[in-house]
Structure 1
Amino acid sequence: MHKEVRLFRGLINPSFFFYQLKDMEDVKGYRKKVFHLVWMSIIVFGLISSFGIGMDPLSKEITTLSPVTYELEKFLFFLGRLLGGLLYAAIILFFCSLIFWTISDEGEYRKLVMTQGVVLLVLLLEQLSYIPLSLFFSLEWYSSPLSLGVITQYVTSKTYVIYLMGSFTLFKAWVFFIQYKGIKRLTGQKNWIIWLVILLTNLFIWSLNALLAYLSISTLL
């Protein structure tokens, strides 16, 4: 089969999507899909930064910086977010796929990247959900009502723990479902191995995300 991969179908009907993906002899349009996904990630991160989301530490320095310096800092922040979008896409698409590929008996790496392409779409939707939460409700990402961060703030005041738990959202549950469907279909591994690798991989990424957020707050406030 040489049909082109339609990633958005993976959001709507993952079972049928991965059935087709497994039967494909070659992943047609692979490079184009990866290119579009990376650019989509960069655009989403750039869009979020254009609303000033995440600029609170810099905004507090507005009275101590000259107008020129402040505008330069804003530009560097925007540029950093664009690079962050690039790195984010690279980690989700290639790093995670590489881990899943290590437990694969028959799954092809490119097909696992396409699986993570569907995952990236879900995660970018999650990123976009932070825009209305920030603009209309003044909520930080870890205080999203769709995450465990809200409940955690009533239990502990430890910043890192709040960030870590705030990383687990309903979108991540969706990610778990897609990853299981895709990896199960493509690798044929045992269920407990698949779930263990999915859990450990995502926990690593959440922990890294929480650590980066914690270090950013700690050094800029």
Structure 2
Amino acid sequence: MGYRVPLFRGLREPYIISHQLRKEESFVGLWKRILLLVAVSMAIMGFSVYFGIGSEIVSKSLTDLARSDYEAYKTLFGAGQIVWGLIWALLVIFIPSLFFWTLIDVEYRKLLSVQLFVTIIFLIEKVVNIPFSIFLGVGTESNIFSLGIIVQSLTSIELIIHFFANITLFQIWAVIIQYIYFRRLSEKSPRFLLFTLIGFYLFVAMVSSLLSYIKFENII
């Protein structure tokens, strides 16, 4: 029959599910779950755009464009954000799986299954942050679940603030979940697995902070 990856049980019972993943040789419904998470990601981005989250660039053009041009610009921006929701989900699911597959000697489909659990964590993070953005106007650099809000009281260097803003409690949760699964799926040493995970997410935080720091609208 094949093994159906239980998405939410994978978060609630990582020790049990990791044991099941280790034994299984065939999987069914993996692509359906991937498409489901991609659709959820797009829906979250659409919901965020509807409430104006992340649309500061569009708002700056309000006084420079005619009403019809502004509405077209806003619609195009919204469509772009929804498409980014699709691309973001695919990147989160496939790129880390491919990276870890080259290092820890675990079947790619099993790594994809683990990455689905991680994607759920990051989707939860996006949903949780929506009310703070809507009602409090909290930006990414002031995310209350990140280290960025603490670092802001220690330095005014934007690049450093952006870097620590990309290190969140949800990211730490993701590292813990992945470490539990990798310990049971891989024969590599626990220290190697832990350093690999931490190094990967620090690199992601560094790239994300650089992209956040660069003002692309000024370049364009």
In the TM superposition, what is the alpha-carbon distance from 1:220 to its structure 2 partner?
Answer: 7.9
Structure 2 Cα separation of the partners of residues 218 and 158 of structure 1 = 20
- Equivalent AA in structure 1 for residue 121 of structure 2: V
Pair 1:42 & 2:42 matched: yes
Deviations 1:3-47 (CA, angstroms, capped at 9, x unpaired):
311111111111111111121121221111111122121211222
After TM superposition, list the pairs within 5 Å mapping 1:130-169 onto structure 2: 130-169=129-168
Residue pair 1:147, 1:170 contacting (<8 A) in 2 also: yes
Pair 1:176 & 2:149 matched: no
- Equivalent AA in structure 1 for residue 68 of structure 2: V
In the TM superposition, what is the alpha-carbon distance from 1:159 to its structure 2 partner?
Answer: 1.6
Structure 1 Cα separation of the partners of residues 147 and 196 of structure 2 = 22
| Match in the other structure for 1:22 | 22
| Match in the other structure for 1:86 | 86
Residue pair 1:100, 1:183 contacting (<8 A) in 2 also: no
Structure 2 Cα separation of the partners of residues 220 and 61 of structure 1 = 16
Structure 1 Cα separation of the partners of residues 30 and 69 of structure 2 = 42
SS at match of 2:15: helix
- Equivalent AA in structure 1 for residue 119 of structure 2: L
In the TM superposition, what is the alpha-carbon distance from 1:175 to its structure 2 partner?
Answer: 0.5
Runs of 4+ in 1 over 3 A off after TM superposition: none
In the TM superposition, what is the alpha-carbon distance from 1:2 to its structure 2 partner?
Answer: 2.5
In the TM superposition, what is the alpha-carbon distance from 1:193 to its structure 2 partner?
Answer: 1.1
Count the aligned residue pairs: 220
Deviations 1:164-205 (CA, angstroms, capped at 9, x unpaired):
101111111110111101222112211111111111211222
Structure 2 Cα separation of the partners of residues 218 and 155 of structure 1 = 28
Tell me which moved more, 116-125 or 179-188: 179-188
SS at match of 1:52: coil
What is the TM-score with the length of structure 2 in the denominator?
Answer: 0.93
- Equivalent AA in structure 1 for residue 202 of structure 2: L
Deviations 1:100-143 (CA, angstroms, capped at 9, x unpaired):
111223x2101101101000000011111221111111111221
SS at match of 1:102: helix
What is the TM-score with the length of structure 1 in the denominator?
Answer: 0.93
Please report the RMSD computed on the Cα atoms of aligned residues, expressed in angstroms. 1.8
In the TM superposition, what is the alpha-carbon distance from 1:87 to its structure 2 partner?
Answer: 1.9
Gaps of 5+ in 2: none
Structure 2 Cα separation of the partners of residues 130 and 193 of structure 1 = 32
In the TM superposition, what is the alpha-carbon distance from 1:53 to its structure 2 partner?
Answer: 0.5
| Match in the other structure for 1:8 | 8
Residue pair 1:42, 1:82 contacting (<8 A) in 2 also: yes
Structure 2 Cα separation of the partners of residues 153 and 217 of structure 1 = 23
Structure 1 Cα separation of the partners of residues 194 and 11 of structure 2 = 20
Structure 1 Cα separation of the partners of residues 165 and 216 of structure 2 = 15
Structure 1 Cα separation of the partners of residues 72 and 64 of structure 2 = 14
SS at match of 2:152: helix
SS at match of 1:25: coil
Q: Provide the identity percentage.
A: 35
| Match in the other structure for 1:32 | 32
